[in-house]
Amino acid sequence: MKFEGIYTPIITPFSNDGEIDWNTYAEVIDWQIENGVAGIIVGGSTGEFYALSKEERIQQFKFAADRINGRVEFMAGVNDIRVDECIDISLAASAAGANSLLVAAPPYSLPSEEELAHHVLKIAETVGLPIMLYNYPGRTGVGMGEIFLAAVEKNPLIAAIKESSGDYSRLPLISSKFPSIELAVGGEEQVLEFAAWGAKSWVCATANFFPSECVQLMDILGKQSDFEKGRLLMSAFMPLMKALEQGGKFLQCVKFGCEQQGRPGGNVRAPLLPMDESLKQEMKIIIEDTRNSLNSILN
Protein backbone atom coordinates (compact mmCIF):
# COMPACT_ATOMS: atom_id res chain seq x y z
CA MET A 1 0.00 0.00 0.00
CA LYS A 2 1.24 3.48 -0.90
CA PHE A 3 0.41 6.59 1.08
CA GLU A 4 0.28 9.92 -0.73
CA GLY A 5 -1.20 13.25 0.22
CA ILE A 6 -2.84 14.52 3.39
CA TYR A 7 -4.13 12.18 6.10
CA THR A 8 -6.03 14.26 8.62
CA PRO A 9 -6.27 13.00 12.20
CA ILE A 10 -9.67 14.57 12.75
CA ILE A 11 -10.86 16.18 15.95
CA THR A 12 -13.70 14.78 18.02
CA PRO A 13 -16.33 17.51 18.53
CA PHE A 14 -18.14 17.41 21.86
CA SER A 15 -21.49 18.92 22.72
CA ASN A 16 -21.91 21.19 25.75
CA ASP A 17 -22.67 18.20 27.96
CA GLY A 18 -19.37 16.54 26.98
CA GLU A 19 -20.82 13.86 24.71
CA ILE A 20 -19.69 13.27 21.12
CA ASP A 21 -21.66 15.50 18.77
CA TRP A 22 -22.33 13.04 15.95
CA ASN A 23 -24.00 15.53 13.60
CA THR A 24 -21.01 17.81 13.85
CA TYR A 25 -18.67 14.84 13.49
CA ALA A 26 -20.32 14.10 10.15
CA GLU A 27 -19.66 17.71 9.09
CA VAL A 28 -16.01 17.38 10.07
CA ILE A 29 -15.64 14.27 7.90
CA ASP A 30 -17.47 15.73 4.90
CA TRP A 31 -15.49 18.97 4.92
CA GLN A 32 -12.19 17.10 4.89
CA ILE A 33 -13.28 15.03 1.90
CA GLU A 34 -14.61 18.10 0.07
CA ASN A 35 -11.18 19.72 0.46
CA GLY A 36 -9.27 16.89 -1.16
CA VAL A 37 -7.57 14.96 1.60
CA ALA A 38 -6.34 11.48 0.78
CA GLY A 39 -7.39 9.93 4.05
CA ILE A 40 -9.08 10.49 7.38
CA ILE A 41 -7.62 9.14 10.62
CA VAL A 42 -10.16 8.30 13.29
CA GLY A 43 -8.96 7.57 16.80
CA GLY A 44 -5.70 9.50 16.72
CA SER A 45 -4.39 11.62 19.58
CA THR A 46 -5.78 14.72 17.83
CA GLY A 47 -9.15 12.98 18.16
CA GLU A 48 -8.55 12.58 21.92
CA PHE A 49 -8.79 8.79 21.80
CA TYR A 50 -7.30 8.55 25.29
CA ALA A 51 -10.28 10.50 26.70
CA LEU A 52 -12.88 8.24 25.06
CA SER A 53 -14.29 4.98 26.34
CA LYS A 54 -13.68 1.80 24.38
CA GLU A 55 -17.33 1.84 23.34
CA GLU A 56 -17.06 5.42 22.08
CA ARG A 57 -13.94 4.59 20.09
CA ILE A 58 -15.60 1.63 18.39
CA GLN A 59 -18.73 3.68 17.74
CA GLN A 60 -16.54 6.32 16.09
CA PHE A 61 -15.07 3.70 13.75
CA LYS A 62 -18.51 2.51 12.68
CA PHE A 63 -19.88 6.01 12.24
CA ALA A 64 -16.85 7.23 10.30
CA ALA A 65 -16.79 4.20 8.00
CA ASP A 66 -20.43 4.77 7.09
CA ARG A 67 -19.91 8.49 6.58
CA ILE A 68 -16.70 8.18 4.57
CA ASN A 69 -18.33 5.45 2.49
CA GLY A 70 -15.20 4.70 0.50
CA ARG A 71 -14.69 8.29 -0.68
CA VAL A 72 -11.21 8.48 0.86
CA GLU A 73 -9.05 6.12 2.87
CA PHE A 74 -10.16 5.43 6.42
CA MET A 75 -7.22 4.89 8.78
CA ALA A 76 -7.90 3.90 12.39
CA GLY A 77 -5.73 4.86 15.33
CA VAL A 78 -5.70 1.78 17.56
CA ASN A 79 -3.26 2.60 20.32
CA ASP A 80 -3.93 1.70 23.93
CA ILE A 81 -2.01 1.17 27.15
CA ARG A 82 -3.18 -2.48 27.33
CA VAL A 83 -2.19 -4.89 24.57
CA ASP A 84 -5.43 -6.90 24.71
CA GLU A 85 -7.45 -3.70 24.34
CA CYS A 86 -5.24 -2.65 21.43
CA ILE A 87 -5.96 -5.96 19.68
CA ASP A 88 -9.69 -5.67 20.39
CA ILE A 89 -9.82 -2.10 19.07
CA SER A 90 -7.81 -3.11 15.99
CA LEU A 91 -10.25 -5.92 15.23
CA ALA A 92 -13.18 -3.55 15.76
CA ALA A 93 -11.64 -1.06 13.34
CA SER A 94 -11.21 -3.78 10.74
CA ALA A 95 -14.78 -4.99 11.25
CA ALA A 96 -16.06 -1.44 10.84
CA GLY A 97 -14.29 -1.09 7.50
CA ALA A 98 -10.94 0.57 8.19
CA ASN A 99 -8.47 0.42 5.30
CA SER A 100 -5.35 0.75 7.44
CA LEU A 101 -4.15 1.20 11.01
CA LEU A 102 -1.98 3.77 12.80
CA VAL A 103 0.03 1.93 15.48
CA ALA A 104 2.27 3.40 18.17
CA ALA A 105 4.03 1.83 21.13
CA PRO A 106 1.81 1.12 24.14
CA PRO A 107 2.55 3.99 26.52
CA TYR A 108 4.02 3.66 30.01
CA SER A 109 5.15 0.02 29.83
CA LEU A 110 8.41 0.91 28.02
CA PRO A 111 8.85 -2.27 25.94
CA SER A 112 12.23 -3.05 24.42
CA GLU A 113 12.58 -2.78 20.65
CA GLU A 114 12.21 -6.54 20.31
CA GLU A 115 9.09 -6.52 22.50
CA LEU A 116 7.63 -3.62 20.57
CA ALA A 117 8.28 -5.42 17.27
CA HIS A 118 6.46 -8.48 18.63
CA HIS A 119 3.51 -6.28 19.57
CA VAL A 120 3.26 -4.64 16.15
CA LEU A 121 3.70 -7.90 14.25
CA LYS A 122 1.00 -9.51 16.41
CA ILE A 123 -1.43 -6.78 15.35
CA ALA A 124 -0.46 -7.26 11.71
CA GLU A 125 -0.94 -11.03 11.97
CA THR A 126 -4.26 -10.74 13.80
CA VAL A 127 -5.89 -7.99 11.76
CA GLY A 128 -4.27 -8.25 8.35
CA LEU A 129 -4.48 -4.54 7.47
CA PRO A 130 -1.66 -2.26 6.27
CA ILE A 131 0.00 -0.45 9.17
CA MET A 132 1.47 3.02 9.43
CA LEU A 133 3.81 3.01 12.40
CA TYR A 134 3.73 6.02 14.71
CA ASN A 135 7.10 6.84 16.24
CA TYR A 136 6.55 9.39 18.99
CA PRO A 137 8.88 8.63 21.90
CA GLY A 138 7.95 11.93 23.53
CA ARG A 139 4.48 10.50 24.13
CA THR A 140 5.09 6.75 24.45
CA GLY A 141 8.46 6.74 26.22
CA VAL A 142 10.16 4.43 23.70
CA GLY A 143 11.43 4.88 20.17
CA MET A 144 11.19 2.69 17.10
CA GLY A 145 14.93 2.27 16.56
CA GLU A 146 16.95 0.27 14.07
CA ILE A 147 16.50 -3.02 15.92
CA PHE A 148 12.73 -2.57 15.80
CA LEU A 149 12.69 -1.48 12.15
CA ALA A 150 14.88 -4.39 11.10
CA ALA A 151 12.49 -6.79 12.85
CA VAL A 152 9.34 -5.47 11.16
CA GLU A 153 10.49 -4.28 7.73
CA LYS A 154 10.09 -7.63 5.96
CA ASN A 155 6.39 -7.83 6.81
CA PRO A 156 4.54 -6.40 3.79
CA LEU A 157 1.80 -5.00 6.04
CA ILE A 158 4.29 -2.61 7.68
CA ALA A 159 3.82 0.04 5.04
CA ALA A 160 4.91 3.40 6.46
CA ILE A 161 6.07 5.31 9.51
CA LYS A 162 4.77 8.60 10.85
CA GLU A 163 8.03 9.92 12.23
CA SER A 164 7.33 12.29 15.12
CA SER A 165 10.56 11.99 17.07
CA GLY A 166 11.86 15.38 15.92
CA ASP A 167 15.23 13.73 15.18
CA TYR A 168 16.23 14.81 11.68
CA SER A 169 18.87 12.09 11.46
CA ARG A 170 16.02 9.58 11.31
CA LEU A 171 14.95 10.82 7.87
CA PRO A 172 18.00 9.64 5.88
CA LEU A 173 18.22 6.53 8.06
CA ILE A 174 14.69 5.37 7.24
CA SER A 175 14.84 6.43 3.59
CA SER A 176 18.15 4.71 2.85
CA LYS A 177 18.29 1.76 5.22
CA PHE A 178 14.60 0.80 5.39
CA PRO A 179 13.19 1.78 1.98
CA SER A 180 10.27 -0.66 2.20
CA ILE A 181 8.82 1.52 4.98
CA GLU A 182 7.48 4.77 3.54
CA LEU A 183 8.32 7.98 5.34
CA ALA A 184 5.29 10.06 6.38
CA VAL A 185 5.55 13.58 7.75
CA GLY A 186 4.96 13.48 11.50
CA GLY A 187 5.91 17.00 12.57
CA GLU A 188 3.87 20.00 11.45
CA GLU A 189 6.90 22.26 11.07
CA GLN A 190 9.13 19.68 9.29
CA VAL A 191 7.32 19.14 5.99
CA LEU A 192 10.12 20.51 3.82
CA GLU A 193 12.75 18.30 5.40
CA PHE A 194 10.58 15.18 5.09
CA ALA A 195 9.78 15.94 1.44
CA ALA A 196 13.48 16.33 0.69
CA TRP A 197 13.93 12.74 1.87
CA GLY A 198 11.09 11.42 -0.25
CA ALA A 199 8.00 11.67 1.96
CA LYS A 200 4.80 11.77 -0.10
CA SER A 201 2.29 11.78 2.76
CA TRP A 202 1.64 13.96 5.77
CA VAL A 203 -0.37 13.10 8.88
CA CYS A 204 -1.49 16.65 9.29
CA ALA A 205 -3.34 18.08 12.28
CA THR A 206 -3.26 21.54 10.69
CA ALA A 207 -5.54 20.18 7.97
CA ASN A 208 -8.35 20.20 10.52
CA PHE A 209 -8.68 23.90 9.73
CA PHE A 210 -6.52 24.52 6.63
CA PRO A 211 -7.24 21.32 4.64
CA SER A 212 -7.11 22.70 1.11
CA GLU A 213 -3.93 24.64 1.79
CA CYS A 214 -2.21 21.62 3.33
CA VAL A 215 -3.29 19.44 0.39
CA GLN A 216 -1.79 21.97 -2.00
CA LEU A 217 1.46 22.20 -0.03
CA MET A 218 1.93 18.43 0.01
CA ASP A 219 1.15 18.29 -3.70
CA ILE A 220 3.70 21.03 -4.43
CA LEU A 221 6.39 19.25 -2.42
CA GLY A 222 5.53 15.56 -2.82
CA LYS A 223 4.38 15.47 -6.45
CA GLN A 224 5.82 18.56 -8.10
CA SER A 225 9.06 18.80 -6.07
CA ASP A 226 8.69 22.58 -6.25
CA PHE A 227 10.76 23.47 -3.22
CA GLU A 228 10.92 27.16 -4.06
CA LYS A 229 7.15 27.57 -3.75
CA GLY A 230 7.14 25.07 -0.93
CA ARG A 231 9.51 27.26 1.07
CA LEU A 232 7.22 30.24 0.56
CA LEU A 233 4.24 28.28 1.86
CA MET A 234 6.18 26.88 4.79
CA SER A 235 7.31 30.40 5.71
CA ALA A 236 3.64 31.37 5.82
CA PHE A 237 2.75 28.31 7.89
CA MET A 238 5.66 28.38 10.34
CA PRO A 239 4.34 30.81 12.99
CA LEU A 240 1.16 28.72 13.22
CA MET A 241 2.97 25.41 13.27
CA LYS A 242 5.39 26.67 15.90
CA ALA A 243 2.43 27.73 18.05
CA LEU A 244 0.86 24.28 17.65
CA GLU A 245 3.96 22.20 18.25
CA GLN A 246 5.72 24.29 20.88
CA GLY A 247 2.94 26.19 22.61
CA GLY A 248 1.91 23.44 25.03
CA LYS A 249 -1.80 23.62 24.11
CA PHE A 250 -1.81 21.60 20.89
CA LEU A 251 -5.35 20.23 20.95
CA GLN A 252 -6.90 23.40 22.29
CA CYS A 253 -5.20 25.39 19.53
CA VAL A 254 -6.31 22.94 16.82
CA LYS A 255 -9.93 23.13 17.94
CA PHE A 256 -9.73 26.90 18.28
CA GLY A 257 -8.25 27.06 14.77
CA CYS A 258 -11.29 25.21 13.48
CA GLU A 259 -13.58 27.79 15.07
CA GLN A 260 -11.58 30.65 13.60
CA GLN A 261 -12.10 29.12 10.16
CA GLY A 262 -15.85 28.95 10.71
CA ARG A 263 -15.72 25.23 11.45
CA PRO A 264 -16.89 23.36 14.57
CA GLY A 265 -14.25 22.86 17.22
CA GLY A 266 -15.60 22.83 20.73
CA ASN A 267 -14.07 21.96 24.06
CA VAL A 268 -11.44 19.40 24.90
CA ARG A 269 -12.06 16.61 27.38
CA ALA A 270 -10.32 16.30 30.75
CA PRO A 271 -7.59 16.22 31.81
CA LEU A 272 -7.07 19.11 29.37
CA LEU A 273 -8.60 22.49 30.15
CA PRO A 274 -9.84 25.31 27.88
CA MET A 275 -7.46 27.96 26.56
CA ASP A 276 -7.18 31.24 28.42
CA GLU A 277 -8.14 34.51 26.73
CA SER A 278 -4.58 35.71 26.18
CA LEU A 279 -3.71 32.60 24.17
CA LYS A 280 -6.94 32.91 22.20
CA GLN A 281 -6.05 36.44 21.20
CA GLU A 282 -2.55 35.37 20.22
CA MET A 283 -3.88 32.49 18.15
CA LYS A 284 -6.47 34.70 16.44
CA ILE A 285 -3.70 36.93 15.12
CA ILE A 286 -1.50 34.00 14.05
CA ILE A 287 -4.36 32.24 12.24
CA GLU A 288 -5.50 35.42 10.46
CA ASP A 289 -1.95 36.25 9.38
CA THR A 290 -1.47 32.66 8.16
CA ARG A 291 -4.71 32.76 6.19
CA ASN A 292 -3.78 36.05 4.52
CA SER A 293 -0.23 34.90 3.70
CA LEU A 294 -1.42 31.61 2.22
CA ASN A 295 -4.08 33.34 0.13
CA SER A 296 -1.49 35.73 -1.30
CA ILE A 297 0.69 32.82 -2.42
CA LEU A 298 -1.96 30.36 -3.62
CA ASN A 299 -4.50 32.74 -5.19
Residues forming the active site? 134, 162
Cα angle, residue 94 at apex, residues 7 and 44 outer, rounded to 5°:
40
> Which residue type is seen at 196?
A
Q: How far is residue 120's CA from residue 181's CA, in Å, rounded to a whole number?
A: 14
DSSP per position, 82-123 = SHHHHHHHHHHHHHHT-SEEEEEPPSSS---HHHHHHHHHHH
Of the candidates 242, 250, 162, 254, which has an alpha carbon nearest to the alpha carbon of residue 210? 254
Of the candidates 92, 73, 48, 65, which has an alpha carbon nearest to the alpha carbon of residue 184? 73
Neighbours of 84 (CB within 10 A): 8
By the 8 A CB rule, do 191 and 234 touch?
yes
Half-sphere exposure of 94 (CA within 13 A, CB side): 15
